[in-house]
Amino acid sequence: MRRRKRLGNKMVQNLVEEVPFWWHSLDLGGGIVTSGFKSQATLAQELDSINMPRDLTDKTVLDIGGWDGFFAFEAEKRGAARVAVVDHYQWSMDLGEWWRYWQDCRARNFPPGPYHEQPFWHPDTMPGKLGFDTARNALGSGVEEMTVDFMEADLQDIGVWDVVLYLGVLYHMEDPLRALKRVGAVTRERVIIETEAVVIPGYEHEALWRFFPGNELNHDVSNWWAPNIAALVGALQPAGFSRAEVMLGPAREQVEADGGPHHYRAIVHGIKGPH
Which spans of this chain sit near ligand SAM (rule: CB under 6 A)?
38, 65-67, 86-90, 149-151, 167-169, 172
In whole angstroms, what is the distance from residue 155 CA to residue 101 CA? 34
Minimum CB separation from ligand SAM for residue 68, in Å? Answer: 8
> Is the CB of 7 or the CB of 226 nearer to ligand SAM?
226
Q: Which residues contact 67 (CB under 8 A, 6 or more apart)?
A: 23, 24, 85, 87, 90, 91, 131, 132
Q: Is 145 or 162 the residue whose CB approaches ligand SAM more closely? A: 145
CB 253 → ligand SAM: shortest distance, Å?
Answer: 25
User: Rounded CA gap, 147 and 158, in Å?
Assistant: 11
The CB-of-165 to ligand SAM minimum distance in angstroms stands at 7
**59 DSSP assignment:** -
Q: How far is 48 from 82, CA to CA, in rounded Å?
A: 22
Shorter beta-carbon distance to ligand SAM: residue 67 or 102: 67
Question: In a 3-state reduction of DSSP, which class is residue 153?
Answer: coil
36 or 53: whose CB is closer to ligand SAM? 36
> Which residues are CB-contacts of 163 (< 8 A; sequence separation ≥ 6)?
52, 53, 56, 59, 60, 61, 62, 75, 80, 187, 189, 190, 191, 192
Tally helices (H) and strands (E) across the chain.
Answer: 9, 9
Nearer of residues 21 and 255 to ligand SAM, judged by Cβ: 21
Q: Closest-CB residue for ligand SAM?
A: 65
Shorter beta-carbon distance to ligand SAM: residue 196 or 255: 196
Shortest CB 222 distance to ligand SAM, Å:
7
CB of 108 to ligand SAM, least distance (A): 23
How far apart are alpha carbons 161 and 59 in whole angstroms? 8
CB of 15 to ligand SAM, least distance (A): 20
